[in-house]
Structures are given as C-alpha cells and as structure tokens.
A and B are shown apart, each in its own frame.
Chain A
Amino acid sequence: MEIRNRLNLANVGSDYIHAAGRKLENMHDHLLELESKGEVKVMHINSENRAKDALTLFGWKKLIPTNKIWHHKSCGQCGNIPGYPVSLLWLMNQFGLEYIDERNQTSCTAWNYHGSATSNPVGLASVAARNWHRAYELGYFPVNHCATTFGDYKEMRNLLVENKELRDEVKRIMHKIGRDLVIPEYIIHYSEWVHVMRFEIAKIKKYDLGHVTVTVHPACHTYKMIPEDCIYDKDIYAGKRTAVSTGVALALGAKVADYSTWYDCCGFGFRHILTERETSRSFVMDRKIKPMVREANSDVCLTQDTGCTTTLDKNQWIGKAMGYTEQVPVMADVMFAALVCGADPYKIVQLQWHTTDWRPLCEKIGIDWKKSEEGYNAYLEELKAGGKPQNLYEYK
C-alpha cells in the first residue's frame, strides 16, 4: 500500500498484517521482534528501575519502573495545577527514589493536536521520539505526567511499530537533530507508578480515611486511547474498569463510591475548554459533578489527568448561576495520596490554586489547613525579602 501525505514530507505506508484489528495486538511483543531484527532500538527497563508488575486489559504483563525516572511534565499541570507534579516528586522523595526533572523537555504537543489538528503523525511521533531519546541518553526511564501524553505516546509507539515508512521518516528527523529513534519498552503514566506503589504509600499515611467518600473520574486518554495498554485488576471493580486511582484510594482506606456517569469524559474537549467553554461548563455540572454528589455523596473527586482536573475544578462556580448547588473538591489521585501522607496542603499539594473549596475536605480528614496557610504566607514574605526557595531537589 503506497501512501503519501499531502505535504509530501513523509512517505508513509503500512506493511503490517492485522489478524484481528490493531487493538488486539500486543505491541510490546512486536516491538521486541523489530529490535531482534535490528530495525529499532528499544529502551529497556533495567534492575535500577526496580520495576513492579501489573496486568493490562487482556491480562498482558506490564512492567512499571519505580526508580530512576525521567519526568515528562505536563503543560497544563505545570502551568495551572502545580501541586500535581510537586506531589508526585514529594512522594518519590519519601521513598528516596532517584529522578530527573529538567528543562530539556518539550511538550508532547498532543493537546494542541487534538484541539486544533495543527500537526500530523510525523510531527507527533518525532516529538515523542525526541523526548524519549533525551531520557535514554541520561539513562532514566520516562514517566508521563499527562494522560494525553500517555495516550498519544502509546499511539505513536504503535504507529511506529506498525509502519516502516513512518519509522524511517522519524529516524531521518532524529538524525537531523543529532538524536536516534529509541522506543521505550513500555509507555508509562504516572498513575501507574502511584498504582504499583499504593501499598507502600499506604504504609506512610497519616490520617484515617474510613469516613471519606471518594469518586474517581478516569481520564479518557488513559484508558480509551489504546485501551489494551492500561492497568486492570480483578480485585478492583472486578477488572471491568481501569484500576489506577481507584486502587490507591482503596489502599489508603477511603470509601470509593460508584456513580452512573463514571465513563463520561470531563467536558474538556481539548478545543472546547478554550473556545466553547459553555459546553465544558454544562458537561461538568450535568454529567459529572451532579451525579457524583447526588448519587455518591462524594467528599472528593479524584482525577488522573491534567485537563480533567482543571475542567472539573474550575467550572463548578459558574454552575451556581444556573441553579446547580452541587460542589465537590477536585484533585489528582497523587495529590490526594500526598495530602493523606502528610504533605503540606499549600507548599506541596498547592491546593490554593484550586477554585472549588477543598477546605471542608481537609477538615473532614483532620488536616489543619489554616496553620498551613499561615506558614505559606510567611514563606511568601521570606521569598519577597530575597529568601532562597526550598526545593524538592537541587537543579544541576
């Protein structure tokens, strides 16, 4: 099949044989086959990564590295929900794990692609390969903070395995920037790290959560994009839903409550959150927050992605104008885990950036947020007076 894209910049074709459709192929096996033929380089998980096993949708084993992590940050988290990555790094510090967070990383560009279509598979795959190679040359394994990065990189990995001509085009571009195409053995989302570490995390928790009701919003790009490469567990919703986020909430001792629209997206829409916000707002209140509160009496909504956290948190206030009285604080699973393990609500979990009131949740858990607020305000004054920031790691 000879296929040429309209820009004539890539000559992309497929020589891949499908037995039962793309979704039933185990790309990990095919990736290793290509490696054995010398067709691609593979970034393997090694003993220093201290990997833990998990099972995916069809029961295939996936190795999740827990150490020597290269943090692939998220545009929206770093820009708008800074407590999201900070909580993850803080938890890694609690376990003395090695990681790198650095400036030499670009966006995956996939939020932009799904919002505006101003890219193409060659562009997306090359950006992925660029960031993978950066992690590879440092000897650390990439862990993606954003669910859209996770979904996009899983898709790009699959397309690169399936299409020699795409591989060749990406290799050409990589060579042009002094890099090489090296595909990670597994594409990892941070929520998978949290999931396999959940029992370790639970050992250091500081509060009892027996009276706290959690609802989970699974992110579409975690489990709907390349669904076969997402963690499932027969002990969590009988293996019928992705296990991440729910798993850590249960391990921490919270009650996880079901609600009828758990499968719905958050209303982010990639484009809509910026350019058709009335859609996002209506979706948030009608399809997510209202059911979470009315059906589950939820104390907190746990998320596993950037866009979902923003959309579900920021759009509750305006709901009041349309008579919606339901409100529930929103935070990522890793922020909740850090909070319950004693992380400072202001300095670490950075809840002050959220717009839906999270203070009643802290009070229910037994966290003194007022003391934390005082400490944070004093810290801001120190910084204003020229004080040095207290960082989680030293930037080299």
Chain B
Amino acid sequence: MEYDEKGVSIVPLDFKKEIFKEARKDFRYDEYVLGCLNCGVCTGGCPPHRFFDFSPRIVLQNLKTKDPELIWTMMDEYIWACFQCFTCAMICPFLNNPGGAIAILREIAVRRGFESARKVLKPYSRVLLKLTAYGNQLSPDMIQPDFFPDWGPDISYASADLKVKRKAIPMPTLQITNLSWDVSPEAMKELYEIFDESGVFKIIEAVDPSLYEIIMDIVEDVRSS
C-alpha cells in the first residue's frame, strides 16, 4: 500500500478498479456475494469480530457498493483478521459467503505479492516450506519450548527424546520426527506437479521470493532422487 505524507492512499484509481475486476472475475464470486439486507447476523456470530475491528457485514456491504475505493480499503490488514471459520456463511439468511469472498480477496493480495500480504505471512514461512516441499504441514520437531513458551512448561515433553517417543507411536507412518507422517517421494513428486500446473509455486514466488528459492532447491533434489 502506498500513502502520501498525510496518510492518504496514492494508489491510482485504475489499479483499484483492476483489483475489484479481478475479484469479480473469480468463478466463485457470484455464488459468494448475493443480496445483503445489512441485517448483521453474520457479524453477530463472527468470532474475530469480538477481538478485531472486523465485520463480515462490512465486507459484504463494501463489495455490494462496487466502489473500488471502498474495496481497496480492505485489501490491507482487514481481510487477514478473518478466522475462515465460515460461521458467517452458515448463518447468513441470504446464503452469502463473506468468508469465501475474503478468501478470493486474499488470493489476489498474495498472487500480486502485496506488501501487506508479505508482512502478514512472514511468520508463516516455516509452515509454507514444510507443506510445499515435503507434502505435509506440521512436524513434531517444530514443537520446541522456545517457540511455544506460552504453551507451558509441559511443552518441553514434546521435544525431549522425540525420536524414541515417535517410535513408540504404534503407526509405522508416524515414526518420524521431521514430518507429521512419512510422505513417499512419489506422492511428493505428484504434489509438485500439481503445484506447478495450478500456479501454487508461482504464488509463493510472488509473496516470498527467497522462500521460493529454498523450496525449489528441495523440489529439485526430490525430483532427481
């Protein structure tokens, strides 16, 4: 996001129009954004609304105005407050899906490598690396006391003697410490192909070029194995 010295957005209107046009082009948009009575049921049930300046009703109302300026105001941090729980979608009397519409806007922010998206997702890079390079998202050796001190003193149990404790889990697929389960190389290679063809690798390149380089090194190693 670009601002002048008074904090006013200096992003050209044409660019904002382009962003809205991109959202409306998504094949899910017309299913997610229907009529809105402004009843506020979605916001009343929205969990993050209790903790953030965030309202799915506002999201719907802004989209319904078709005003690129208003929609642009949500592309910064606003859309990242959503928990993606879909409470709003379940309870909307008009069958709108504000959570789905937010997913569309987030996809645009990431695809275009917006600075706000890069900033929000920076602490997420370790998870992205695991998932895209190895095929599952969370590994037992990620649960370290220094990373999760707020989970209490017992969390150190999860990292001590990890190898033998994982071996004691009576599922052979889980007897590994650096992945949730031991993903076979053939499954990983198929996943890489999917990420190539669907553009997932390109998205990561846009939002985190240095992470993309690291992932590609691993991908090349696995592909040539």
Contacts of B59 in A (CB 8 A): none
Residue B195 contacts which of A123, A172, A347, A395 (CB distance < 8 angstroms)? A123
For A89, the closest partner residue in chain B by CB is: B171
Docked complex: A62-97 residues within 8 A CB-CB of B: 73-80, 82, 85-86, 89-90
Which residue in chain B gives the minimum CB-CB distance to A321?
B150
A383–B157 Cα gap in the complex (Å)? 18
Contact B131 A109 (CB under 8 A): yes
**Chain A, residue nearest B139 (CB):** A79
Name the distance in Å between B181's Cβ and chain A's nearest Cβ. Answer: 5
Query: Is A150's CB within 8 Å of the partner chain B?
Result: no
Q: How far is the CA of A376 from the CA of B167 in the complex (A)?
A: 12
Report how far A177 CA is from B188 CA in the complex, Å. Answer: 11
Which of A112, A117, A264, A287 contacts B109, CB < 8 Å? A117
Question: By the criterion CB–CB under 8 Å, are B140 and A80 in contact?
Answer: yes
**List of A residues within 8 angstroms of B153 by Cβ:** 317
CB–CB A275/B164 < 8 A: no
User: How many pairs, one residue from A and one from B, have CB atoms within 8 Å of each other in the complex?
Assistant: 282
**Nearest CB of A to B44, in Å:** 11
- Per the bound structure, the CA–CA distance linking A119 and B27 in Å amounts to 15
Residue from the list A268, A271, A384 in contact with B80, Cβ < 8 A: A271
Contacting residues, chain B, for A172 (C-beta < 8 A): 197
* CB-based contact B170/A390 at 8 Å: yes
**Interface size class for chain B?**
35 or more
Q: Mark contacts of A202-237 with chain B using CB atoms, 8 A cut-off: 1 yes-contact digit, 0 otherwise.
A: 000000000000000000110111010000000000
Residues of A within 8 A of B202 (CB): 7
Min CB distance A363 to B, Å, is 18
Bound complex: CA A166 to CA B220 (Å): 28
In the assembled complex, how far is the CB of residue A57 from the closest CB belonging to chain B, in whole angstroms?
A: 10
A-contact bits for B91-113, CB 8 A (1 contact / 0 none): 00001000000010011111100
In the complex, what distance in Å separates the CA atom of A303 from the CA atom of B194?
Answer: 32
Within 8 A of A (CB), among B165-212: 165-175, 179-184, 186-188, 190-191, 193-195, 197-200, 202-204, 207
Chain B residues with CB below 8 A from A90, complex form = 170
Asked if A227 and B191 sit within 8 Å, CB to CB, the answer is no
A106 at the interface (CB under 8 A from B): yes
Pairwise interchain contact B120-A224, C-beta atoms closer than 8 A: no
Check if B111 sits within 8 Å of A347, measured CB to CB. no
Whether B28 contacts A130 by the Cβ 8 Å rule is: no
Closest to A381 in B: B164
A257 within 8 A of B: no
User: In the complex the two chains form, is B85's CB within 8 Å of A265's CB?
Assistant: yes
A389 and B90: CB pair below 8 A? no
Q: Do residues B172 and A395 form an inter-chain contact, with CB atoms below 8 A?
A: yes
Q: Determine the distance from Cα of A388 to Cα of B87 in the docked complex, in whole angstroms.
A: 47
Decide: A173 and B198 in contact? CB cutoff 8 A.
Answer: yes
Segment among B1-9, B47-55, B68-76 that sits at the interface with chain A: B47-55
Question: How many Å lie between the Cα of A211 and that of B166 in the bound state?
Answer: 34
How far does the alpha carbon of A355 sit from the alpha carbon of B148 in the complex, in Å? 12
Number of interface residues of A (CB under 8 A): 107
A271-B124 contact given A104-B187, A225-B86, CB 8 Å threshold: yes
Interface hits, B52-83 → A, CB 8 Å = 52, 80, 83
Chain A residues positioned under 8 Å from B143 (CB to CB): 79-80
**Given A86-B171, A395-B173: A283 touches B121 (CB 8 Å cut-off):** no
Neighbouring A residues of B80 by C-beta, 8 Å = 271
* Cβ-defined contact, B186 with A104, below 8 A: yes
CB distance from A166 to the nearest CB of B (A): 7
| Residue B115 at the chain A interface, CB threshold 8 Å | no
Task: Report chain A residues within 8 Å CB of B188.
Answer: 106
Is the Cβ of B164 less than 8 Å from the Cβ of A9? no
Whether A391 pairs with B190 at a CB distance below 8 angstroms is no
Asked if A22 and B31 make an inter-chain contact with CB atoms under 8 angstroms apart, the answer reads yes
B37 CB to closest chain A CB, in angstroms? 15
Q: Smallest CB-CB separation from A151: which chain B residue?
A: B86
Q: Which residues of B contact A77 (CB under 8 A)?
A: 180
- Chain A neighbourhood of B28, CB < 8 A: 121, 159
Q: B83 and A270: CB pair below 8 A? A: yes
Among A105, A277, A389, A390, contact of B181 (Cβ-Cβ < 8 Å): A105
Tell me if B197 and A224 are in contact (CB < 8 A).
no
The reply to whether B180 and A22 form a contact with Cβ atoms under 8 Å apart is no
Asked if A102 CB lies within 8 Å of chain B CBs, one says: yes
Residues of chain B within 8 A (CB-CB) of A130 are: 190-191, 194
Assess whether B83 is in contact with A265, with CB atoms less than 8 Å apart: yes
Q: Quick check: A348 and B170 within 8 Å, CB to CB?
A: yes
Q: Select B136's contact among A75, A104, A163, beta carbons within 8 Å.
A: A75
Q: Does any Cβ of B come within 8 Å of A23's Cβ?
A: yes
| B103 adjacent to A9 (CB under 8 Å) | no
Given that A117-B109, A126-B194, A264-B47 are known contacts, is A12 also in contact with B124, CB under 8 Å in the complex? no
Q: Is A114 an interface residue (CB 8 A)?
A: yes
Q: In the complex, what residues of A have CB within 8 A of residue B12's CB?
A: none
Asked if B168 and A314 sit within 8 Å, CB to CB, the answer is no
B218: chain A residues at CB < 8 Å are: none
Provide the B11-31 mask, 1 if CB < 8 A to any CB of A, else 0.
Answer: 000000000001001111011
Q: Is the CB of A119 within 8 A of B83?
A: no
Interface presence of B222 (CB below 8 A) = no
Closest to B155 in A: A355
B89 and A224 within 8 A (CB)? yes
Can you offer 6 A-B residue contacts whose CB atoms are under 8 A?
A9-B199, A123-B199, A130-B191, A225-B89, A265-B83, A380-B161
List 13 extra interface pairs beyond A119-B198, A355-B155, CB under 8 A: A82-B171, A102-B173, A106-B135, A112-B137, A115-B127, A117-B117, A126-B198, A179-B190, A225-B89, A265-B83, A271-B124, A275-B120, A318-B151
